[in-house]
Structure 1
Amino acid sequence: MFDLDEYRTGPLILDANRLPGSRRFMAPEGWNKGAIIDQVTNVFTLGRTAAEFLGRGATSVDAWMGTDRMRLVTLKATSENRSARHQSVRVCRGLEIRRLSGASLSDNK
């Protein structure tokens, strides 16, 4: 899920006009020189990957092959608005643990 030539151990400021990689997996900030690229960006990429595998590239109800909860998590992960996304991959993972324990999706802040 990442290019070893571009791997960094932490957040970075994008010093090019865009990130390398496939357009369909790229977060909006990946197109903006000077943008912060961090775990919120990774959440978007993982969400787009989920959409590819579980929704044939879409998150519509008709295309989705996963659970409703997975679709809602993916929709939030792929929000164009960075602040509306899950703030880390750990939060996304925590949603699955909460699901298994019976907590509702609205319990996540």
Structure 2
Amino acid sequence: MDKGELLIGLPILAVSLLLLLGLHDIPTEIYVGSSGFDPNVTNLYPSKVTWINNDSQIHRIVSDDGLFDSGNLSPGQNYTYDFSYHKIRIYGYHDSTNTL
């Protein structure tokens, strides 16, 4: 196998492994409320994801590694981040509500 085939084969293998592990069900829209995330997914994989504040309070979505920060999302507002330009890996995030 030459180098070109190996470089093409690795991404295909990585995507195949993700699909086999059931990661193809990762949502593209996540609702944020007083009880957390719906669906309750705290790790993301490369795709475009939108968080929607479905609560009456302000919420702030922040990546665990500093990659993104939604800023304060008022009720009804949303924030989208496109992970598709990044490497295939797990991207953790949390709700870092800032009501100041």
TM-score range, shorter chain: under 0.3
Task: Flag the structure with higher helix content.
Answer: 1
More contact order relative to length (CA 8 Å, sep ≥ 6): 2
Task: Flag the structure with higher strand content.
Answer: 2
TM-score by length of 2: 0.25
TM-score by length of 1: 0.24
Q: Which has the larger radius of gyration?
A: 2
